[in-house]
Amino acid sequence: MTENVTALLSTPSPVSILPKYLRAARGESLETPPVWLMRQAGRYLPEYRAVREQHGFLDVCYTPELACEVTLQPIRRFGFDAAILFSDILLLAIPLGAGLRFDSGHGPVIEKPVRTQQDVANLHDFEPREKLAEVLSAVKLIRAELPADKALIGFAGAPFTVATYLVEGRKPDPFKNTKSLMYADPASFAALMERLTSLTISYLRAQVEAGADALQLFDTWGGILTDEEYRRCNLPYLQRIFSELKDLGVPLTYFVLNGMHLYSASQVGATVYGLDWRMTFEQARARFGEHAALQGNFDPVLLLTDEQTIRRRARKILEDAGTHGHIFNLGHGILPDTPIEHVEALLDEIRGGRA
């Protein structure tokens, strides 16, 4: 595998001036797809765990040097085609005044959940360029450190997904408070969504100004909605985000988990769509059109099985995805107990199989 990476890095052909990730995101046909993995900077890496032994999760997010270090770790080790900013979709809860902490084992906790009209009105207005300045400094630093042939992906949570956390306070399942607010007080829910949408637009715009080459919007919980609810309470905000960011000229990826039933997700206006493992490439091409690039579909749990299974599944994805507009990725974040050798086997199959 190392030989392949070296070969790719050391013999840039004239067409490869643009990072492979960006070429695939534009729909170009490549011999092998670019590859990165959701949560690639994370607990499965010993070098990440070493940093986290010294620093809390939020410390890493808010210290540009540390965020840069962990963002680059998987690029150094695996030569992924894209780095993704090490950050969290809930950071904006802090300047919003809702508070955020991470309880070990329980994930994020919003200290003052947002459940009433008054709670929504009490949220602070802020300018991401000021209140999330450390994150933007991290973007700048990472872009400066990252090799030119690697793309840097900035990101944010989709407003609906961020709203579910803000409203529920903890891991949102089964989304009781969110749906109650949505139905019992649609105006307040819409007001919250409006606030988050405007913030998300400024924040993502600032990330590109700081050096991000591409943007991804994570809609982890969009799939709890029916298609009708999604069209009414989620889609308009997503459309606004993608349409207002269009002038940036960078690839815009939309990833919704468990969204097979969300037919209207094809109308968000993204340039790249992320698939979880439930939606096949054939279904995604039919739904999102031939011009959209596609990324994802490899079930992260399979990275825990064995090399043969991993290689077989990777080959199937390479066949199914076709060569144009394909970015290799998982269908959800890489699991903390994924063995390093399994990631190596996956990359070897992706790069070696058709290299």
Residues in the site for its own copies, rule: CB under 8 A?
174-176, 179-180, 183-184, 223, 226-227, 258, 260-261, 277-280, 283, 299-302, 304-306, 309, 335, 337
**Residue 306: active-site member:** no
Nearest-approach distance from CB 212 to its own copies, in angstroms: 29
Q: Which is nearer to its own copies, 177 or 198 (CB)?
A: 177
* CB-based contact 98:110 (threshold 8 Å): yes
CA distance 208 to 250: 8
Nearest-approach distance from CB 262 to its own copies, in angstroms: 9
Task: Determine phi and psi for 146, rounding to 5 degrees.
Answer: -75, 135
Q: Which is nearer to its own copies, 248 or 335 (CB)?
A: 335
Only one residue has tokens 């940093």, namely 51
**Residue 52: active-site member:** yes
DSSP state of 324: B
**Residue 103: active-site member:** no
Largest CA distance in the chain: 60
Q: Which pair of tokens denotes residue 163?
A: 């709203």
321 Cβ contact list (under 8 Å, min separation 6): 33, 281, 294, 297, 328
Q: Which is nearer to its own copies, 273 or 277 (CB)?
A: 277
Nearest-approach distance from CB 138 to its own copies, in angstroms: 29
Nearest-approach distance from CB 84 to its own copies, in angstroms: 20
Nearest-approach distance from CB 149 to its own copies, in angstroms: 33
* CB-based contact 133:73 (threshold 8 Å): no
For residue 213, the number of C-alpha atoms closer than 13 Å in the C-beta half-sphere is: 22
Rounded to a whole number of angstroms, the distance between the first and last alpha carbons of the chain is 11
Q: Which is nearer to its own copies, 112 or 316 (CB)?
A: 316
Quickly count helices (H) and strands (E) in the chain: 17, 9
Of the residues 21, 23, 39, 195, which is catalytic? 39
Of the residues 88, 119, 219, 348, which is catalytic? 88
Q: Which pair of tokens denotes residue 350?
A: 């992706």
Q: Which is nearer to its own copies, 257 or 327 (CB)?
A: 257
**Residue 43: active-site member:** yes
- Is beta strand 151-157 parallel, antiparallel or unpaired with respect to 326-327? unpaired
Q: Which is nearer to its own copies, 56 or 107 (CB)?
A: 107
CA distance 75 to 82: 8
Q: Pseudo-torsion of CA 269, 271, 277, 283, nearest 10°?
A: 70
Nearest-approach distance from CB 342 to its own copies, in angstroms: 11
Task: Show which residues are catalytic.
Answer: 39, 43, 52, 88, 165
